[in-house]
């Protein structure tokens, strides 16, 4: 069961995350540190998205996807996500899709953009050259600072979720050192 969280198909990972969250969601949300991290991440995501919109990034990406036929959110990006990151999204109230909206795009890309709040580091941090050429350097500096905060929180929350779940999800700890 736990191996699916790491190496299954995206639909298997979503199914695993939903079942695991259904069984352990209350435990996760009752954990004080997890609850604090979820609130902090929600605020960080809101700030990052606001900075992206203010810098014109959301419009630029939408034009690239809809008009120019390209997108950084291409099919296969979803495979970088594991079940724990999906559990974080469920805890943040995200309704994970059952199927992709567009077979050529990331499983999580919907008509209004990415449906996820907690995203993989590549999805937070990657900006193509075209975007970099069109974004004001001061706005980019602010965005990068906010993205760093978001990435840090996602990492700590990801590790906390694994710690809170422990053996309940059927996995062995991934980072054991023998000494």
pLDDT of 72-99, one tens digit each?
888 889 999 999 999 999 999 999 999 9
Give residues with Cβ within 8 angstroms of 130, minimum separation 6.
60, 64
pLDDT above 90 covers what percent of the chain?
57
Whether 154 shows a pLDDT value over 80: the answer reads: yes
Compute the average pLDDT of residues 18-40: 96
Query: Phi and psi for 37 in degrees, rounded to 5?
Result: -65, -40
Query: Does residue 119 sit within a domain?
Result: yes
pLDDT category at 178 given cuts 50, 70, 90 is: very low
Report pLDDT for 2: 60
Compute the average pLDDT of residues 43-66: 87
* C-alpha radius of gyration, the chain, whole number: 17
**Three-class SS of residue 17?**
helix
Contact 48, 147 (CB under 8 A): yes
Query: Does residue 56 sit within a domain?
Result: yes
Report pLDDT for 148: 96
Alpha carbon of residue 126 to chain centroid: 13
Query: Does residue 175 sit within a domain?
Result: no
Closest CA to 121 of 144, 90, 92, 102: 144
Report pLDDT for 174: 38
Query: Does residue 176 sit within a domain?
Result: no
Query: Does residue 177 sit within a domain?
Result: no
Whether 69 shows a pLDDT value over 80: the answer reads: no
**CA distances from residue 72 to 53, 64, 102, 150 in whole angstroms, order as listed:** 17, 9, 14, 19
Q: Could you give the CA distance from residue 76 to residue 104 in angstroms, rounded to a whole number?
A: 9
Write out the residue range of the structural domain in which residue 14 sits. Answer: 2-169
Compute the average pLDDT of residues 23-30: 95
pTM of the complete model: 0.87
Number of domains in the chain: 1
Is the Cα torsion angle 77, 83, 89, 93 positive or negative in sign? positive
């Amino acid at each position: 069961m736990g191996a699916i969280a790491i190496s299954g198909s995206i639909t298997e990972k979503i199914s695993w995350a939903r079942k695991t969250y259904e069984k352990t969601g209350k435990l996760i949300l009752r954990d004080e540190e997890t609850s604090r991290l979820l609130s902090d991440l929600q605020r960080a995501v809101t700030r990052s998205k606001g900075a992206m919109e203010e810098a014109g990034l959301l419009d630029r990406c939408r034009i690239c996807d809809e008009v120019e036929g390209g997108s950084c959110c291409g099919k296969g990006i979803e495979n970088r996500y594991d079940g724990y990151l999906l559990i974080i999204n469920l805890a943040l109230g995200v309704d994970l899709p059952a199927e992709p909206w567009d077979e050529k795009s990331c499983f999580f890309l919907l008509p209004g953009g990415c449906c996820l709040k907690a995203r993989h580091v590549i999805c937070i941090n990657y900006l193509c050259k075209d975007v970099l050429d069109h974004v004001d350097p001061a706005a980019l500096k602010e965005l990068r600072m906010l993205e760093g905060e978001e990435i840090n929180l996602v990492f700590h929350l990801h590790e906390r979720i694994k710690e809170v779940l422990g053996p309940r999800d059927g996995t062995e700890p991934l980072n054991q050192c023998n000494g």
